[in-house]
């Protein structure tokens, strides 16, 4: 099974999750600051963990229209695609869901990424 990574992209923080060795379970890994070092840190983690595909949460509103952050997500996706296969996966309110499950913690954004990854795995894509 391919090892996967998911990103919950935000303007200030970026949550990162990846699958375990079996490729079946999504685990929160880290929260990174969204700054000039983000791409480098994501690529380093991808290489250390032998990630074969990255899933990024696609930010849309309830009407299915792109949210303001989607332009930044698309730009980041284009940069990542130089290094690894990247797919967008719909996500709505994963950060809110993560807060409901665990409270607001320093790892909330990573937990949101794990929810994106879990949903992607369960979708069978």
Buried b (16+ CB within 10 A) or exposed e, 9-44: bbeebbbbbbbeeeeeebebbbbbeeeeebeeebbe
pLDDT value of residue 2 = 82
**Tens digits of per-residue pLDDT, 35-45?**
999 999 999 99
DSSP-derived letter for residue 67 is P
- How many separate domains does the chain show? 1
pLDDT tens digits along 58-114: 987 777 777 788 999 999 999 999 999 999 998 876 777 777 777 777 878 999 999
Residue 29 structural domain: 4-123
- Over residues 60-76, the pLDDT tens digits come to 777 777 778 899 999 99
CATH number at residue 34: 3.30.420.140
């Amino acid at each position: 099974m391919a090892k996967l990574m998911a990103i919950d992209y935000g303007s200030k923080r970026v949550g990162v999750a990846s699958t375990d060795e079996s490729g079946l379970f999504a685990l929160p890994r880290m929260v990174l600051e969204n700054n000039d070092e983000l791409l480098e840190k994501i690529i380093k983690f991808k290489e250390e963990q032998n990630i074969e595909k990255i899933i990024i949460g696609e930010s849309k509103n309830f009407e299915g229209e792109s949210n303001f952050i989607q332009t930044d997500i698309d730009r980041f996706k284009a940069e990542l695609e130089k290094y690894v296969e990247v797919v967008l996966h719909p996500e709505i309110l994963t950060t809110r869901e993560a807060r409901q499950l665990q409270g607001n913690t320093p790892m909330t954004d990573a937990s949101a990424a794990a929810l994106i990854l879990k949903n992607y795995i369960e979708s069978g894509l």
